Structure 1
Amino acid sequence: MDDSLSQSEDKIVNGWYLAAEKCPSPHYDEREQCSPQAISLLVIHNISLPPGQFGGSYISDLFLGKLDKNAHPSFKDIYQLRVSAHCLIRRDGTVIQYVSFNNRAWHAGVSSYLGKEKCNDFSIGIELEGTDDTPYTTAQYNHLARLTTVIKSNYRQIGENIVGHCDIAPERKTDPGRVFDWQRYKQLLA
């Protein structure tokens, strides 16, 4: 794992991960059903914009409500979406945080975990820049594991409740996809 982060950066203060680039999204709200102490789920997603392409600012533009509908034909259907995730991990391992972990990001949509509906209310959502069919990078696994460890030390109710978007919305979602290596990720957490 990359040890270039100082201990002072590798922590969460007021819901913000100090090692992340901050890009505050307007697409969030307060957690109505759940206090920050009751956050009990971590959801892993993937995203690429345009679909199957990596790099650039389009993911951030989407989460910030600034996606140009004319920048790519596929954006005409999504540019007005009001969505966000707490964090994005780019292909090079860069972590960008859009929403404080203490607030509710709009990442899960219609969802259920262990019979509990509205997963946004009690979860943290982490996006990986990728697709269901493109292997994730070593840097992404390393930074996801590091971020997960820091999140779990601050939000202890999460415990082992770490799932893919596909697990909480199986009729709608397939991410993080069949190429996500859950065993590799869990070994890095061990």
Structure 2
Amino acid sequence: MDLRAAGIQARSAVRSTTESLVPIWHPSPNFGPRRDGLEPSLVVIHYTAMDSAEAALERLCDPAAEVSAHYLIAGDGRLWQMVREEDRAWHAGAGEWRGQKDINSRSIGIELDNRGDHPFSELQMAALENLLQDIMDRWGIAPDGVIGHSDMAPGRKFDPGARFDWQRLERKKLAQQRSFGENPQAAAMQSFRALAHDAGFTAEADDEVLLAAVRLRYRPWAKGPLEPTDLSPLRNTIRRT
């Protein structure tokens, strides 16, 4: 097959994945009703940290494991649904976002077949984008309601990890866009914590753990002590009221 034909075939595969969002129904027993009449206002993105999508699917549907998610996307773009969106899947655990706890009752969980140490495939990202758009339209979820597991549970969880392409979602308005100011103010931990809190990072964490969680979301390549550019991505993430 020549390169042109290979390119056409690849584009066709992406289209077929993104244009057809009928998930494979594979019900999990691990769910319950959403509490206090809550409806989804967040989407939490995870990686599975397992060797295959099939292994993750088995665990997410194992009653002994007591974990689940609403959706699972394989590396080749296959999409499974395990829990109805109206129900409360058990994917987020302890943590909080914007001062609110019980994230399971407030969110839809999406698991991505990835160990966390390699890039997410094009087919997988294309399927995720289409799924996110459908969910956000269906429930009226704004881009700032799409978060990573590490955002709401800093220091406890690290997914979807440093290899996840948040900027790709931001460009398509499927996640809160970062803002890099030309003249950021001098970095100070007090200012950083205030900005992080206003952006939604309200879970209890010391300075080092909070900095690591924010960097994992916005600047996963960054190392060392707090610097001015750590504040920049947070400046435009404050929810408009």
Give the TM-score normalised by structure 1: 0.78
Structure 1 stretches of at least 4 aligned residues deviating more than 4 Å after TM superposition: none
In structure 2, do the counterparts of structure 1 residues 158 and 111 end up closer, same or farther at CA, with 3 Å as the change threshold?
A: farther
In structure 2, do the counterparts of structure 1 residues 64 and 156 end up closer, same or farther at CA, with 3 Å as the change threshold?
A: same
CA RMSD of aligned residues (A): 2.0
Q: Secondary structure at the match of 2:108?
A: strand
Q: Which amino acid aligns with 1:107?
A: H
**How far, CA to CA, are the matches of 2:161 and 2:60 in structure 1?**
21
CA deviation digits over 1:4-46, x for unaligned, max 9?
2697x54xxxxxxxx100001000000012343xx11010000
User: What residue number does 1:146 align with?
Assistant: 130
1:65 aligns with one of 59, 62, 65: 62
In structure 2, do the counterparts of structure 1 residues 188 and 138 end up closer, same or farther at CA, with 3 Å as the change threshold?
A: farther
Give 1:170 shift.
0.7
Q: Which amino acid aligns with 1:65?
A: D
In structure 2, do the counterparts of structure 1 residues 182 and 64 end up closer, same or farther at CA, with 3 Å as the change threshold?
A: same
Structure (1/2) with the larger strand percentage? 1
User: What residue number does 1:32 align with?
Assistant: 35
In structure 2, do the counterparts of structure 1 residues 27 and 119 end up closer, same or farther at CA, with 3 Å as the change threshold?
A: same
Q: Which amino acid aligns with 2:15?
A: D
Give 1:48 shift.
3.4
Percent of residue pairs identical: 34
Moved more, 129-138 or 103-112: 129-138
Aligned residues of 2:47 and 2:111 also touching (Cα < 8 A): yes
Give yes or no for the alignment of 1:124 onto 2:122.
no
**How far, CA to CA, are the matches of 1:54 and 1:40 in structure 2?**
29
What is the 5 A alignment of 1:10-89? 10=21, 19-36=22-39, 39-49=40-50, 53-55=51-53, 57-65=54-62, 80-89=64-73
Q: Secondary structure at the match of 2:111?
A: strand
5+ residue gaps in structure 1? 11-18, 67-79
Q: Which amino acid aligns with 1:20?
A: P
**How far, CA to CA, are the matches of 1:117 and 1:34 in structure 2?**
14
Give 1:150 shift.
0.3
In structure 2, do the counterparts of structure 1 residues 87 and 129 end up closer, same or farther at CA, with 3 Å as the change threshold?
A: same
Aligned residues of 2:43 and 2:145 also touching (Cα < 8 A): yes
**How far, CA to CA, are the matches of 1:188 and 1:87 in structure 2?**
21
Q: How many residues align?
A: 162
User: What residue number does 2:227 align with?
Assistant: none
More RCO (CA 8 Å, sep 6+): 1
Give yes or no for the alignment of 1:172 onto 2:156.
yes
User: What residue number does 2:90 align with?
Assistant: 106
In structure 2, do the counterparts of structure 1 residues 40 and 33 end up closer, same or farther at CA, with 3 Å as the change threshold?
A: same
Give the TM-score normalised by structure 2: 0.62
